[in-house]
């Protein structure tokens, strides 16, 4: 990337903006990594007849340094590009460039230190593994269940960290300690009784999904239960019973989407943020359904790239090559998505340009609206 150099000073508004953006993304992605080796015996207490989502997190496997280094490199590029665009034709001085790079480096180091401290507190409490669970019957009251093997020795600081995530301890049952997403301690305690009443399930597809991307550090599995699949099929039938004249385009798309959901056997997701790697597989009950899903994805992309507004069209034109490479491919009865570092290297310039163009257009729109408000205010006076 070419960088023009000029004399004079520049404000730090753009670096402050990107520092805040970096904080949010870094905290979100510097999460623990999922361990692939999960045995049926270990998972048995967590697997109910209607378990929908399950992930296993190995806190000890988190390579904070590698992820932080990846983000520092990427955001150096983003922050410098932002500063150059904002500086206009004059460009940046070497001093200004060095200052931006130093601010990003300092900010990443600060966030890395914070994440490491949080992890160390978990380790001190003997919390080395977390299991994330969602069960159909409990999703309204307890959308996310976090289970920890054994009985961790939690201090006040660990409890505060969990409460910041809206997680409260529900108690210990058998070999597991449970935390749930709720704001009330009494409600959290009710969870164990509700969870214990749920019917245990024989769900081998859950373990199969979790093991699908065993070489990647982050894994997650979606496994629709028989009950959910049955509900989806009823919805599909109800919509299909309407006459073709009564069905709008949106309803047809919704019906197609629900039908595809009802034919999913399992979905597995794997990610390695340090390598900018993201993989996903959705396994359907037939090859025909997989091809139909791929076709729907292509049609949705084609529709999304259409715009009569010149500003929007300019942004979409920049994004078009990257979006086309994001299309999943059908192979037998599976829909596959594979995104790696080469994808970002290939499309990095266009992605950055589209982001900044979109931001610039928003800023222009906001400025115009503020001017209109000021003019209206003057007229009222």
In a domain, 115, yes or no: no
Contacts of 381 (CB under 8 A, 6+ apart): none
- Identify whether 105 is part of a domain: no
Cβ neighbours of 23 (radius 10 Å): 15
Over its length of 381 residues, how does the chain's per-residue pLDDT go in tens digits?
333 333 333 333 333 333 433 333 333 333 333 333 446 677 788 889 888 888 877 777 778 888 888 778 777 777 777 777 666 666 677 888 888 888 888 988 998 898 888 888 888 888 888 888 889 888 888 888 989 888 888 777 777 777 777 788 888 888 898 989 877 778 888 898 899 889 888 888 887 887 888 777 778 888 888 888 887 777 777 766 664 455 455 666 777 777 888 899 999 988 887 778 889 999 999 999 999 999 988 888 888 777 767 777 888 888 888 888 889 999 999 999 999 888 888 888 888 777 777 777 766 766 555 555 555 555 555
Picking from 108, 91, 126, the residue whose alpha carbon sits closest to that of residue 3 is 91
- In which domain, by residue range, is 251 found? 224-369
Please name the residues in contact with 279: beta carbons below 8 A apart, sequence gap of 6 or more: 213, 216, 269, 270, 271, 336, 337, 338, 339
Query: Does 375 reside within a domain?
Result: no
- What helix, strand, coil percent values describe the chain, rounded to 5? 60, 20, 25
**Does residue 294 belong to any structural domain of this protein?**
yes
Residue 362 lies in a domain: yes
How many domains does one find in the chain? 1
Q: What is the pLDDT of residues 62-104, one digit of tens each?
A: 788 888 887 787 777 777 777 776 666 666 778 888 888 888 8
pTM for this one?
A: 0.70
Per-residue pLDDT tens digits for 173-210? 888 989 898 777 788 888 988 998 898 888 888 878 87
Q: Is residue 80 part of a domain?
A: no
In a domain, 337, yes or no: yes
CB 174 within 8 A of CB 197: no
């Amino acid at each position: 990337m070419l960088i023009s150099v000029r004399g004079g000073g520049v404000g730090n508004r753009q670096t402050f903006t990107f520092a805040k953006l970096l904080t949010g993304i870094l905290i979100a992605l510097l999460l623990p990594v999922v361990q692939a080796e999960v045995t049926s015996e270990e998972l048995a207490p967590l697997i109910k007849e209607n378990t929908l989502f399950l992930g296993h997190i190995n806190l000890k496997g988190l390579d904070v340094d590698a992820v932080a280094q990846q983000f520092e490199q990427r955001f150096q590029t983003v922050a410098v590009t932002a500063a150059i665009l904002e500086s206009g034709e004059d460009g940046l001085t070497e001093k200004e460039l060095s200052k931006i790079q130093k601010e990003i480096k300092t900010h990443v180091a600060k966030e890395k230190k914070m994440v490491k401290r949080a992890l160390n507190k978990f380790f001190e409490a003997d919390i080395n593994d977390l299991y994330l669970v969602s069960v159909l019957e409990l999703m309204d009251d307890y959308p996310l269940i976090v289970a920890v093997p054994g009985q961790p020795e939690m201090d006040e600081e660990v409890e505060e960290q969990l409460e910041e995530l809206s997680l409260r301890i529900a108690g210990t049952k058998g070999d597991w300690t449970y935390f749930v997403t709720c704001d009330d301690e009494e409600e959290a305690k009710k969870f164990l009784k509700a969870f214990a009443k749920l019917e245990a399930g024989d769900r081998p597809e859950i373990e199969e999904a979790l093991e699908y991307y065993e070489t990647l550090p982050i894994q997650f599995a979606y496994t629709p239960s028989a009950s959910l699949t049955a509900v989806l099929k009823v919805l599909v039938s109800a919509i299909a019973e309407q006459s073709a004249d009564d069905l709008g385009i949106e309803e047809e798309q919704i019906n197609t989407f629900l039908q595809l959901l009802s034919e999913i056997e399992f979905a597995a997701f794997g990610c390695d943020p340090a390598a900018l790697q993201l993989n996903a597989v959705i396994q359907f009950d037939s090859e025909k359904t997989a091809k139909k899903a791929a076709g729907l994805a292509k049609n949705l992309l084609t529709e999304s790239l259409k715009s009569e507004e010149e500003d929007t069209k300019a942004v979409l034109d920049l994004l078009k090559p990257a979006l086309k490479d994001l299309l999943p491919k059908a192979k037998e009865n599976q829909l596959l998505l594979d995104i790696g570092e080469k994808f970002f290297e290939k499309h990095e310039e266009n992605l950055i340009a589209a982001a900044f163009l979109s931001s610039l257009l928003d800023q222009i729109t906001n400025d115009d609206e503020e001017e209109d408000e000021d003019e209206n205010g003057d007229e009222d006076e």
